[in-house]
Chains A and B, each alone.
Chain A
C-alpha cells in the first residue's frame, strides 16, 4: 500500500476540482488531484455544445475547451494529478483511501476539498410506472453515447423533464437525425435556462408540454411507446388526457443530485434542500478541514459559477492546511426564508471583514418580486423589483457594512410585489 502526504487533497478533477487545486497550489501547498476518469474535465468532456466561459473567460467556449484550458493550467502548475483513481473512503482525520491500477493509496491530507460533482435522478427515483425495457435512459447517458461513443441511443425520442441536459440533448439528437417528439415537464414552468428553451427547442420547433408527464412505459424488450397525461395541481395524472406516443427512446432530465456518498460516510452533514453539505462562508463543512465546492455542494447551472466557488474553496483549504486562517468567531446562520429553496453558504463567521457571497434559488417562479435580506430584528436590505426563476441561480453579496455591528443571523426572502406572480 502506497502511503503519501499532501497539504491539500482534491477529490474530483472536473471544473470544481481543477480550480480548487490550482488555487491551493497558488498558496504554496502541495496538492494531489484525484480523478476517477481517464481525463480531467469531468462532465464537461461530453458537453460539446457552446455556452461555457462567458463570464469567466469572457468568450463562449464548448465544454471540452473550457475543461482543456484548466487542464493545461493544472498540468503546468506542479499539481500531482492521479487519473483513473477512485477515492473509496475519507476519514475525519483527513486520511484519504484511493485505488487505481497501481494499487491502494493512503493519503494523509492537511485539508480535503470535495469536488465529486453530481449524478442524474433516475427513472427509479421518480417512480414512473410501466415496463422496464431498453431505451429508457438519463439524458446524460444519451449524451455520452452520442458525443463520446458515437452510438445511436434510438431513433424516435421523448424527453421527460426540462432540465438543461434534456433541452441540450433535444437539439443534439435533432442534429443527429433522431426524431424528437417533445419535452414533457410535470411542473407548470421550465426547469432549465430560458436561453436553452429558445436555442434548443424553439429554434428547432421541438414541442414543450408543461404540466404534462409520462405515466406509463411500454415494451418488453426495447421501448415501444409511452403514455403521457396532463397533471393536476398535485401532480396527479388527469384522467381522460392520456396520449399514447410511439417511440423507442425515453430520455429523463429530471434533476441532478450532488454525489455525497463519501461525504456522508465521513460524517458531513447535508442540507436536505440541496443534498449537498452544509457549509460556512469559507465553504468548510461541519467536519473541520473538509471543504466542498461545485456540484457536490449544490447544482449549478453555469460552470463559471462553479469555477468561482471552487477558487474560494481552494483558497480556504490552503489556509486551513497552512494554518493561516483567522480563528473564526461563533458562526451565524444564513437562512432560507419566504420563497427561497436554499442558500449556500448556510453559516458565516462575523467580524472577518470580508464580504459573504451567497448563492440562492427561489422555490417557484416569481415574475414581480424583490429580494429582502433581514435579521431577526430588522430588514437589512430590499432589492429592486424583478423576476425570479427556480432554474436560475441568484447571487448576493453581504458586505461587512451590511453584516452590521450586531452580526446576527441573516434571512433571505423573495417577496411578491403584487398578488399575481
Chain B
C-alpha cells in the first residue's frame, strides 16, 4: 500500500488548489477523485465569478479568503496558464431602498479591504455597461471582480501539482477511513492508500467523508443552481458581471456573467434538495433564469440559449461561513466544508489556510528547491494571429484540421487535451479542456469525430468512451456486419 504524507479527497477547485499549494514542499501528496476527471462536481457547474469580496460579512473567513484569493488570481493566471478576465462587477439597484442597501455593501466592502469600490448612478452605469436595463438608477461598481472558467483553473492547479510530484487517482471513491496511530487508511473499491494526514475537500460529500473518519459535526445540504449558457455575442457584448440586489432567500440572485470565451451565463437559481447527485434542470428554473436575466439585461432572450446545466452548492449545517480547519478529536484530519460562493474566488487562499492547518497539526513543510511554479498553457489556435497559425500548422499539420467548427478547435488541440498529463479521457473532458463541442451546435458536428480521436489515442473501442461520468457511453457498439480492424 502506497503511503503519503497528505491525501486530499476531492479534485474540485479546493482539492486541486490545495494540491498545488502543497506541491512546493518536500512531502508526498496524493489527490483522490471519485469521478473519472478533475473538476466534475460543483467546480464545473458554477458561474466562474471571482467576486471582489464586498459581500461577505466583515470578519468572516469568507470575507478574508475571498479578498485574498481574488487578489491572487491575476498572477496565478499568468503563472499557471489559464484565462482570467478582470471584468469588474456591478450590483444594480432600481430605487432608493436599493441605494441604501448598496451603500451598506460599499461600507462592508471597504471594511473587507476591497479596493476601488464606487457607487455610481445613471449615465455612469450605462457608460460602463451599455446593455444594462435602462431602469437601473444606481450600482455598486467593483472593478477588481473577474471571471474565469473554473474547470480550467482546476486543471491548471492539478497539472502544476502533478508535474511537481503530486499523484492523482481517478475513480477512487473513498468508501471507508480507518484511523491508525500514525494516520489513516483510505479504502476504495480500486484499492487503499495510507496517509499521515487527510484533507477533506469532498464538496457536497464532505459530510459523508467526515462521517467515515468518525466526525458527525456537520451535514451538507445540496443547493441546486441552474445556469443558462447564451451564444457568443458579436456586437455590443455584456462587459461586466451584473448582480441584482441579493434576496434573503435566493442568495446572490440571478446574475449575468460574461465569460472568458465570449459567451454569457445567466446564473443561478437556488433550491435546497436531498439527492447529492441531482443535477437536473427544471422547466420552472429555466424560466426563472430568463426572467431574472432580463431584469438586468433587458434584451436577453430564449433564442440565445445554447445550453442549460445545473450544479450543487455545498450548504453546511455548521453555519453560513466556510467551515475550514482541524476536526475536533481527529488529529491530522482537515475539513474544508461548506465551500459555496465565494469558494472559487477564495480557493487559492483556502489552500494556504489548509496548508497552515496541516502545519499546525504537525506536518513539516520544507520547500523543494526544484519546485516549478510555472505551467505552460496549451495551444488555443483560434486566439492566434494568421502568421502564428501558419507557423504552427507547418510544425504540426494536426493544427490545420478544424474539428469543432463553432469554436474553431483543431485536431491538434484535441490530441493535446488527451495527451497532456491528467488529460481528458471523456468527451466532456475534451470539451472542457479544448472547447470542442462548447459552441452553438453543442457537438452536433464534432462529437463523432472527437469520439474517434479519443478512441484512437486511448486505444479503446468507441463504446468504452464515456460522455462524462462512469458508464456513460455515447454509443453502444458496432452495428450488424461490423468488424474491427
Contacts and interface: CB of A to CB of B under 8 A. Distances in A.
B289 to A, nearest CB: 10
Given A154-B476, A222-B472, A141 B390 contact: no
Nearest to B439: A261
Contacts of A216: 280
Interface residues of A, number: 55
Nearest to A154: B476
Which of B386, B393, B463 has its CB near the most chain A CB atoms (within 10 A)? B386
B474 interface: yes
A100 B444 contact: no
A122 B398 CA distance: 28
Nearest to B285: A129
A103 B305 CA distance: 34
A189 B480 CA distance: 35
A11 B445 CA distance: 17
Interface string A61-105: 000000000000000000000001010100000000101111110
A88 B387 CA distance: 14
A420 interface: no
Contact of A150 (B229, B283, B309, B478): B478
Given A215-B283, A264-B234, A122 B475 contact: no
A102 B400 CA distance: 7
A104 B390 contact: yes
A270 B52 CA distance: 40
Interface stretch (A130-138, A200-208, A322-330): A130-138
Contact of B394 (A103, A133, A265): A103
A119 B444 contact: yes
A119 B479 contact: no
A319 to B, nearest CB: 30
Interface in A220-276: 220-222, 237, 248, 261, 264-265
Contacts of A125: 305-306
B442 A127 contact: no
Contacts of B481: 150
B308 interface: yes
Contacts of B382: 88
Contacts of A220: 277, 469, 472
Given A145-B448, A264-B234, A101 B473 contact: no
Task: Give the dominant DSSP class at A's interface.
Answer: mixed
A23 interface: no
Contacts of B397: 101-102
A36 interface: yes
A114 to B, nearest CB: 14
B166 interface: no
Interface in A110-133: 119-120, 122-125, 127, 129-133
Nearest to B396: A101
A176 B441 contact: no
A39 to B, nearest CB: 14
B447 interface: yes
A58 B138 CA distance: 68
Interface string A124-168: 110101111111011011001110111111110000000000000
Given A119-B445, A146-B479, A151-B462, A130 B393 contact: no
Contact of A137 (B405, B447, B462): B447
A151 B475 contact: yes
Contacts of A88: 382, 402, 408
Given A101-B397, A104-B386, A176-B479, A134 B474 contact: yes
A267 B422 CA distance: 42
Given A84-B401, A86-B405, A150-B482, A1 B390 contact: yes
Given A129-B282, A129-B286, A152 B386 contact: no
A177 interface: yes
B307 interface: yes
Interface in A364-418: none
B281 interface: yes
Given A1-B387, A127-B305, A264-B234, A134 B402 contact: no
Given A101-B401, A131-B279, A155 B476 contact: yes
Interface string B271-309: 000000101111101100000000000000010011111
B476 A124 contact: no
B436 to A, nearest CB: 13
B470 interface: yes
A216 to B, nearest CB: 8
B384 to A, nearest CB: 10
Interface in B445-467: 445, 447-448, 452, 462-463, 466-467
B421 interface: no
A286 interface: no
B400 A135 contact: no
Given A122-B444, A125-B305, A100 B400 contact: yes
Nearest to B277: A220
Contact of B442 (A1, A124, A133, A265): A124
B380 to A, nearest CB: 14
Contacts of A102: 393, 397, 400
B363 interface: no
B393 A103 contact: yes
Contact of B476 (A101, A129, A152, A237): A152
Interface string B420-442: 00000000000000000000111
B389 interface: yes
Interface in B147-186: none
A138 B308 contact: no
Contact of A153 (B302, B387, B442, B475): B475
Given A129-B282, A141-B447, A221 B472 contact: yes
Contacts of A100: 400-401
Contacts of B370: none
A277 B477 CA distance: 41
Contact of B472 (A133, A152, A176): A133
B413 to A, nearest CB: 13
A125 B442 CA distance: 10
Contact of B475 (A103, A140, A152, A261): A152
A179 interface: no
B406 interface: yes
Contacts of B447: 137, 141
A221 B471 contact: yes
Contacts of A140: 444
A305 interface: no
Given A120-B441, A176-B479, A222 B405 contact: no
A153 to B, nearest CB: 6
A99 B473 contact: no
26 contacts: A1-B390, A101-B401, A104-B386, A104-B387, A119-B440, A122-B444, A124-B229, A124-B305, A125-B305, A125-B306, A127-B305, A127-B308, A129-B281, A129-B282, A129-B308, A130-B280, A134-B468, A140-B444, A149-B475, A150-B479, A150-B482, A151-B476, A152-B478, A176-B479, A220-B472, A221-B469
Nearest 6 interchain pairs by C-beta: A134-B467, A124-B307, A101-B400, A221-B472, A101-B397, A104-B390
Interface of A: 1, 36, 84, 86, 88, 97, 99-104, 106, 119-120, 122-125, 127, 129-135, 137-138, 140-141, 144-146, 148-155, 176-177, 215-217, 220-222, 237, 248, 261, 264-265
Given A36-B405, A88-B408, A222-B472, 5 more contacts: A119-B444, A129-B281, A130-B280, A141-B448, A237-B283
